[in-house]
Structure 1
């Protein structure tokens, strides 16, 4: 169907006033962008700009994907339908409406829904799927995207983002639904159960187990001075409860950013990866004499932080740096208490730093590398629990996602928030700062630096433009990047690794459109398109004997990579 035909269908449909007005306001270019395709269902579901159209997030596209999910559950039988679907949502515009409509579509199929009455974090939704033995989960969120976006994540029965095989079935059903304006809703809500306090309490009981050294927190928790910002999202209610039950009471919350507001009025992007999002919290910290700043994104699955340096300024940490320090603290504690398993493993993505891996290796703990997407970390945890081959100790992605304990099967900023506070308290008890702890690891393991370059390719030609850049790499495999020789090339689309002298080996990960180049000095570069947004990402990781040398390497490699985009 052409975009003009899709547009005509929408123009003839009975739309809510706000969507009808939005539709009539489109320029010809906006019409094409809103209708040239259906919103794609990617790595973790679908995500898009709010508005009228097949390529937009709205009540009709939400009903459509939920109808596809319902048909998938129907095919699994009555037991799956009775186990039902847990549903939560964040602070974005239309999130409550999308969640309620999803529940009503499922109810029309006699599928049970467990619906939170108000916003809750993504990791609590993941926990809820597992706790209630639900068959699936839905989280209405666009995570850390700007205010114009919303999204729809689907979870499997293990509490992890739904695996590719199930997603393919849902996409097949999605493509069969041609009339998205007449999907049946159960307006009597007969299969919908509201869940709130009971699940909050159970989640918090599990969060209490994140604390490693209760005596340390009891001694230092009341005096550790830090600032927390939930960035207008779901983190405040559960995050504050988690901090307080652990024993951290001497913190300030950024009041302006504790207001639930889908416009995110104090930031351009509510993304703790973005240093600008932490500026207000850092100002709070400087005015209140705090040593640490922590931030969670709107659905509280990502956590970012900034720490005070000796000169009183604040350094915004990278996700890789945070992970390395947390891993060091956890493994040191286990070693000191003789609870470090001989088959321990941390799990991370192929585009994350080797910093935490090097720390883990010093404790005899292996690193398992998986594709980007926390569902692959969750699947690895499930594999370990089934085979007992390894014991999961920590999971992370460079994009500020961490998992300490697998009672959630997605990245969990509430877990990370509590552990980060404890590690800060630990260094305070030693007369040091978190920044000092990071510096100690640099001196011991080397100066690791990373950089992620994210290029936007919006619109109808975006995918083709991204594909052309990736094709440049595949058609002209680089033998050098910057001034360093490429010694191994990993092409995950063929699950093949090729050395500089032509030897090949199979990669253990599933096939994916990712390229990774290992350089002669241990540096690496990866190229991949985003699974949920029209973005192409370059990842760079280096290590050396000093920060200055590492930064110089980053700069040289960056300059070379940019030639592929021209």
Structure 2
């Protein structure tokens, strides 16, 4: 069906939601907007779906949410009656339409006789992952668009282990979702009827208490916190999202008393009115936290994204100055402290392992190696870390100590199977307290790591190419690079080319297989141990370039990064 036909079908549908109908009518003179709203269906992939809220097949609305929910219902039905009876846990964040989308999902599942357990109010993504495991449901749904701008929302699906679905199951679910063709006529059950039939249960404080109880396992040295918990000054901003309620309680429970909220950003706000983007990796998002930090003399400033699965950190340098750390730097500090603390207590297992994504820094790997801890690399997507944890539980081959992605996602304890900013909040506070007692700031500690292991620097360059044409250009660029592999970056020779889509690794003309699932990622390892990776985003109209340099000298690293960026810019210019 042409996009114009699809538009007419929606516009003239007798039961179309009245607000969406008004929106479509207002588009009538804007052909570009109409085409973008209907030229394709909102893509449902391994990470679920995410898009701009609005009318159309290429938008987040009650009909695309029902389609995804019906696809999930068919997926669960295919697993048998036991799976149906287990039901689905559903949570949502502070975005526009989040609560409505959560209830639409529950009402759609109810028609299939699948019970839903929906939180009474907004909750973080990690608590949804915990709820799936705690309630032993067959699946979970999180309504969130993570750190995207205010006009976005999304739909993420979790498996019975509490992790996002691995590739095989995700592909199966996607096929069910795509099989639902007439999305305007999907049947739903009234909320009251669903509740009466015990197909809708509202979750509340009991789950919060269970999660907070599990969170006690994150703390390694409670005696340290007893000594330093009243001295450490923490500024915390949930960036208008879900982090406030559990974040404050988690810090208080652990023993940290000097926690200062950024009041302007403490309460949920779907417009994120004090910031351009609710992204804890952006310095602009910390502007009010910087101000608060200077007022109270804070040791650290912490921000969580709207669904509280990602955490950003700024550390005090000198006087009233704070420096925002990268996700890789935060992870390096965390794994260094975690391993030191466990060694000190004699609780570091001999089969310990750290898991990270293939586009994350190698500094944490060097730290883990010094402590005799193995590092495993997985594809980008925390579901692959969760998949490894599940494997370890079944085989007893390794003990999970820490997992992270460079995109500000961390996991300390596996009672959650996704990145967990609430866990990270507690761990960052503990490690800051440790170094403060030793007379160091986290900034000082990071410099010590560079002195010991060498200087590592990483940067992610995200290039947005919107719409149908942008998607085409991204695909063309990846195809071009596969046919014309770069031989050097920054005048440094490429020694290894890894193509994760073809699952091959080429080294000096010899080729071997990569034992990871296929993914549209290219990685180039250079002669000096620096590397470049290129990956289209799975949830946004972006292509990402990951740059990593290391050297004994910080000055040399900066020089390499500039040259790498210049070469990346040449690739981007050709794509545009």
How many angstroms does 1:548 deviate by?
2.0
Q: What is the SS of the residue equivalent to 1:181?
A: helix
How many angstroms does 1:476 deviate by?
1.1
Cα distance in 2, alignment partners of residues 70 and 462 from structure 1: 33
Cα distance in 1, alignment partners of residues 115 and 105 from structure 2: 11
Cα distance in 2, alignment partners of residues 267 and 293 from structure 1: 16
Cα distance in 2, alignment partners of residues 74 and 328 from structure 1: 45
The more displaced of 176-185 and 126-135 is 176-185
Equivalent in the alignment of 1:541? 548
- 8 A contact 1:46–1:152 mirrored in 2: yes
Cα distance in 1, alignment partners of residues 26 and 545 from structure 2: 36
How many angstroms does 1:39 deviate by?
0.5
Cα distance in 1, alignment partners of residues 517 and 483 from structure 2: 22
- 8 A contact 1:448–1:544 mirrored in 2: yes
Relative to structure 1, is the Cα distance of residues 422 and 343 closer, same or farther in structure 2, using a 3 angstrom cutoff?
A: same
Cα distance in 1, alignment partners of residues 558 and 155 from structure 2: 38
Q: What is the SS of the residue equivalent to 1:194?
A: strand
Equivalent in the alignment of 2:136? 133
- 8 A contact 2:108–2:189 mirrored in 1: yes
How many angstroms does 1:373 deviate by?
0.3
Find the partner of 1:104 among 89, 102, 107.
107
The more displaced of 538-547 and 51-60 is 538-547
Q: Is structure 2 residue 495 aligned with structure 1 residue 487?
A: yes
Superposition TM-score, scaled by structure 2 size: 0.97
Cα distance in 1, alignment partners of residues 127 and 526 from structure 2: 40
Cα distance in 2, alignment partners of residues 43 and 562 from structure 1: 29
Cα distance in 1, alignment partners of residues 137 and 436 from structure 2: 42
Residue correspondence of structure 1 range 468-483 to structure 2 within 5 A: 468-483=476-491
- 8 A contact 2:45–2:171 mirrored in 1: no
Q: Is structure 2 residue 54 aligned with structure 1 residue 54?
A: no
How many angstroms does 1:170 deviate by?
2.1
- 8 A contact 1:50–1:148 mirrored in 2: yes
Find the partner of 1:530 among 534, 537, 541.
537
Superposed CA RMSD in Å reads 1.0
Q: What is the SS of the residue equivalent to 1:460?
A: helix
Equivalent in the alignment of 1:259? 267
How many angstroms does 1:311 deviate by?
4.2
Equivalent in the alignment of 1:12? 12
Equivalent in the alignment of 2:207? 199
Equivalent in the alignment of 2:450? 442
Cα distance in 2, alignment partners of residues 412 and 274 from structure 1: 19
Cα distance in 2, alignment partners of residues 468 and 249 from structure 1: 54
Cα distance in 2, alignment partners of residues 406 and 477 from structure 1: 39
Equivalent in the alignment of 1:81? 84
Equivalent in the alignment of 1:43? 46
- 8 A contact 2:297–2:320 mirrored in 1: no
Find the partner of 1:275 among 255, 280, 283.
283
Equivalent in the alignment of 1:350? 358
Superposition TM-score, scaled by structure 1 size: 0.99
The more displaced of 345-354 and 305-314 is 305-314
Q: What is the SS of the residue equivalent to 1:31?
A: helix
How many angstroms does 1:522 deviate by?
0.5
Cα distance in 1, alignment partners of residues 347 and 296 from structure 2: 39
Find the partner of 1:370 among 349, 373, 378.
378
Cα distance in 2, alignment partners of residues 219 and 338 from structure 1: 21
Equivalent in the alignment of 1:23? 24
Equivalent in the alignment of 2:571? 564
Find the partner of 1:71 among 63, 71, 74.
74
| Structure 2 alignment gaps of length 5 or more | none
Cα distance in 1, alignment partners of residues 59 and 272 from structure 2: 20
- 8 A contact 1:301–1:414 mirrored in 2: yes
- 8 A contact 1:117–1:194 mirrored in 2: yes
Residues 249-281 of structure 1: per-residue CA shift (max 9 Å, x gap): 101100110121100001100000111111111
| Structure 1 alignment gaps of length 5 or more | none
Cα distance in 1, alignment partners of residues 396 and 135 from structure 2: 25
Find the partner of 1:432 among 440, 449, 472.
440
How many angstroms does 1:471 deviate by?
1.9
Equivalent in the alignment of 1:312? 320
Number of matched pairs:
565
Q: Is structure 2 residue 515 aligned with structure 1 residue 508?
A: yes
Cα distance in 2, alignment partners of residues 546 and 415 from structure 1: 34
Cα distance in 2, alignment partners of residues 361 and 551 from structure 1: 25
- 8 A contact 1:472–1:564 mirrored in 2: no
Cα distance in 2, alignment partners of residues 23 and 448 from structure 1: 50
